[in-house]
A and B are shown apart, each in its own frame.
Chain A
Amino acid sequence: MTTVRIPPVLRDVTGGSRAVDVTGATVAEALEALFSRHPSLRERVTDDGRLSRFINVYVNDRDVRYREGLETPVGPDDTVILLPAMAGGGG
């Protein structure tokens, strides 16, 4: 199973889960499996059928923008990290 890390701002959708295990051969398939488990994540992570520009996606430590995008292959030992920008500085 591929692990998808859920960023803190999206954990309300996953019931507080910090990681969700999914099956899929590519990032797109892994995300599709994630959305089928947590449907409301789709609109938070995608925009008009495309990956939101505010969220970076990594396979392990590599940004998929610099690999094969959503077609980047993933294996059972890989971790997909969803990483939106975080602004807080503790006021």
Chain B
Amino acid sequence: MSIRYREVGLDEAVELARNGYRVIDVREPSEWDAGHVAGAVLVPLGEVPQRIGEVVPDRGIPLLVHCAVGARSERAAAWLVQSGYTDVVNLKGPISRWRETGGAWEEPAQLLSPTQSRRYARQVLIPEVGQEGQRALLDAKVLLIGAGGLGSPIALYLGASGVGTIGLVDDDVVDESNLQRQVLHGADRVGMRKVDSAELTLRGLNPETNVVKHVERLGPDNVERLIAGYDVIVDGTDNFDTRYVLNDAAVRLRKPVVHGSIYRWDGQVTTFVPFEGPCYRCMYPTQPPAELAPACSVAGVLGVLPGIVGMLQANEVFKLVLGVGDTLAGRLLMLDAMGTTFDEVRIWRDPACPSCGEHAASTAAGDERLAAPVGRMSGIDVR
């Protein structure tokens, strides 16, 4: 059987494309991404036999096939002719000169580098992520308060998934008793600063991650400086003082805070979005006494619990950065690992909240749906 495809140069090819020839680009996706003929369809050479029938079902349609210089497309053209396509033209010439020859050319915005496209391929496939979403993750700056139980799983997954900047606030060093749950750290890191150990682990996992170390304890004097440059704050602290200090500053600077807390077999997760939903003080106006709030070091905590709660927090971070889905704003999710149950209660914005309420210094209009249905009752009497 004689080969019956035609071979043309650039000038004629541009003309054919203008006159209705379907342009089939048989190069690889990475070449395509760097720029391609406007209106062309990408069918890499190796996929031509499987895919061409679906891309061009009508074998009478005139086809112009090309690659970079004309060698791969020659094989594609021969195959197409043998498969019954009746009008096949191969471009013999450098496609890099298509545009200067007067052909229409498209260069997609380069949101991701080739390395990034490969690394994040599985999540870029998700419609709600895509290249734009992955770009948003790479540009995101997330601050973790604490590089311990909750901070560990959160940092691992945020880093692996390409959150570009991860800030870590922690002034502690790795202790042997941390290792049962603080999976950022290992036995060879005992005595090392947690932020240094975390940086080693995160860089190993994803060399692209920008790890910013803040070797300090979050307090009233440094909180605004610490959180100001970040998009999302993740609260994995182990004491009430820090949680209230963080809450009040986050409300002032309007930073969303993803809240998680754990105790033995129990966990709580919610997301505070200032003025759109309640804040921590709306939920708990006053700090409880110490006996109601023992730390993990006293009460104990199951190793997997920060893992489960941390994953839920990381999921909240993704939705906040991507702007998709429903966050836990206005809902407190409660996990009971002993019974493997999840419950949730509604939490409301408190009009009397000293941090985000009507009379607070930083009051602003909020989401009416999340405002309390009636005024808060203070001092409920018990018989």
Contact = CB atoms under 8 A, between A and B. Distances in A.
A62 interface: yes
Interface of B: 146, 148-152, 172, 178, 181-182, 235-240, 243, 260-266, 268, 283-289, 292-297, 299, 301, 305-306, 332, 334, 336, 338-339, 343-348, 372-374, 376-377, 379-383
B382 A31 contact: yes
Interface in A70-91: 70, 81, 83-91
B345 A9 contact: no
A89 B263 contact: no
Contacts of B301: 88, 90
The 8 closest A-B pairs by CB, nearest first: A90-B149, A54-B288, A90-B306, A89-B238, A85-B284, A86-B261, A89-B236, A51-B380
Given A66-B372, A70-B380, A91-B296, 20 more contacts: A8-B265, A18-B339, A28-B383, A51-B382, A54-B284, A54-B286, A54-B288, A54-B289, A64-B380, A65-B376, A65-B377, A70-B381, A70-B382, A86-B293, A87-B295, A88-B294, A88-B299, A89-B151, A89-B261, A90-B181
Contact of B294 (A9, A32, A89): A9
Instruction: Pick the most buried of B178, B286, B293, B380: most chain A CB atoms within 10 A of its CB.
Output: B380
B176 to A, nearest CB: 12
Nearest to A85: B284
Interface string A33-75: 0000000000010100111011010100111111101100000
A81 B343 contact: yes
Contact of B261 (A18, A58, A64, A87): A87
A31 to B, nearest CB: 7
Given A9-B294, A56-B284, A87 B181 contact: no
24 contacts: A8-B266, A9-B294, A18-B339, A51-B381, A53-B285, A54-B286, A54-B287, A54-B289, A61-B344, A61-B345, A62-B346, A63-B346, A63-B347, A69-B380, A70-B380, A85-B283, A85-B293, A88-B262, A88-B301, A89-B235, A89-B260, A89-B306, A90-B182, A90-B236
A78 B132 CA distance: 45
A9 B292 contact: yes
Instruction: Pick the most buried of B236, B372, B383: most chain A CB atoms within 10 A of its CB.
Output: B383
B146 A89 contact: yes
A25 to B, nearest CB: 13
A87 B348 contact: no
A83 B268 CA distance: 10
Interface of A: 7-9, 18, 28, 31-32, 44, 46, 49-51, 53-54, 56, 58, 61-67, 69-70, 81, 83-91
Contacts of B376: 65-66
A91 B149 contact: yes
Instruction: Pick the most buried of A8, A44, A50, A67: most chain B CB atoms within 10 A of its CB.
Output: A8
Given A54-B286, A69-B377, A81-B345, A89 B265 contact: no
Contact of B296 (A31, A81, A88): A88
Given A61-B346, A63-B347, A90 B262 contact: yes
Contacts of A51: 380-382
Nearest to A83: B345
Given A9-B294, A85-B293, A87-B238, A50 B243 contact: no
A86 B294 CA distance: 8
Contacts of B292: 9, 44, 54, 84-85
Contacts of B296: 88-91
A87 to B, nearest CB: 5
A84 B238 contact: no
Contact of A89 (B237, B299, B332, B334): B237
Contacts of B293: 9, 84-87
A88 B178 contact: no
A14 to B, nearest CB: 14
B238 A91 contact: yes
B383 A32 contact: yes
A8 B262 CA distance: 10
A8 B264 contact: yes
A88 B238 contact: yes
B338 A89 contact: no
Instruction: Pick the most buried of A9, A44, A91: most chain B CB atoms within 10 A of its CB.
Output: A91
